[in-house]
Amino acid sequence: MIDFSLFEKKTNIIFNNKKLLEQAFIHRSYINENSGEQVSHNERLEFLGDAVLELIVTDYLYNKYPDRDEGDLTAYRSALVNAVIIGEVAQELGMNEYLLLSKGEAKDAGRARSYILANTYEAYVGAVYLDAGYNVAREFISRTLFGKIDTIVAKKLWRDAKSLIQEKAQEYLSVTPVYKVLHEAGPDHDKHFTIGVFFGDDRIAEGKGKSKQEAEQDAARVALEIKEWLD
């Protein structure tokens, strides 16, 4: 298995339970190819980490922006914890080097890998929370993620991407974006969706999320970047 000691030094978080740290990096596909190993994939940790992340980010934004209403704070939170931003943070941390994937998944890159990295970040947060507690998890998120919010607010990346791309597409191209499910995976309680946004027959971009709504927002956000319609 992979030696995680360098990652522990990089994050300055030394785990008491090394198996918990390892589990955070195990993708479901790895289990399918290595069924003989006594290891578990990271989806339960991801479930926990997602909730811990949302609470910590919500608390941070509530205190950082005392004059903003619930709607703005919700939009800021959604923009900060979306798969693209968290995937970038995970990449910056070098999490990609420690992923345990199937051979097929290991060959994939681009947005699919970014989505896996985002899930791994959440699983790692869950593992830190279990191993070291809330305060250590909060310090890690503060150090790695909070710095992104100033850019998000300054560039207005928190705006509803679906509404914005519909407005721009109708203004510039006289078309209405259409969203189509390209792929869905996972059990009913933990679905993962890949959705494409189309202008007519042309697929402009695709997005991923744990719900259709989240995946549509992700697809719209990517399409806005591709079209350079973020002002």
Assess contact for 217 and 161: CB atoms under 8 A. Answer: yes
Identify any residues that bridge with 210 across adjacent strands, giving them in sequence order.
none
Assess contact for 217 and 209: CB atoms under 8 A. Answer: yes
Q: Which domains does the chain have, with CATH numbers?
A: 5-154 (1.10.1520.10), 161-227 (3.30.160.20)
**Given this model, what pLDDT does residue 109 score?**
66
CA distance 231 to 223: 13
The residues assigned a catalytic role are 50, 122
**Given this model, what pLDDT does residue 104 score?**
73
- pLDDT, tens digit, 9 for 90 and up, residues 104-120: 776 666 667 888 999 99
Q: Pairing relation of β-strands 202-209 and 192-199?
A: antiparallel
Q: Determine which helix (DSSP H) or strand (DSSP E) holds 65, and give its type and residue range.
A: none
**Given this model, what pLDDT does residue 1 score?**
67
**Given this model, what pLDDT does residue 205 score?**
94
Those residues with Cβ within 8 angstroms of residue 83's Cβ, 6 or more apart along the chain or in another chain: 114, 115, 118, 208, 209, 214, 218
**Given this model, what pLDDT does residue 231 score?**
65
CA distance 147 to 20: 27
**Given this model, what pLDDT does residue 33 score?**
81
Helix H segments across the chain? 5-11, 18-24, 28-33, 43-64, 70-80, 83-92, 103-107, 110-132, 134-144, 149-154, 161-172, 212-227
Polymer length in residues for the chain: 231
Assess contact for 194 and 172: CB atoms under 8 A. Answer: no
pLDDT by position in tens, the chain (length 231): 689 999 999 999 999 999 999 999 999 889 888 876 778 999 999 999 999 999 999 999 999 999 999 989 998 998 899 888 899 999 999 999 999 988 777 666 666 788 899 999 999 999 999 999 999 999 999 999 999 999 888 877 777 789 889 989 999 999 999 999 999 987 776 788 999 999 999 999 998 888 888 889 889 988 988 998 876
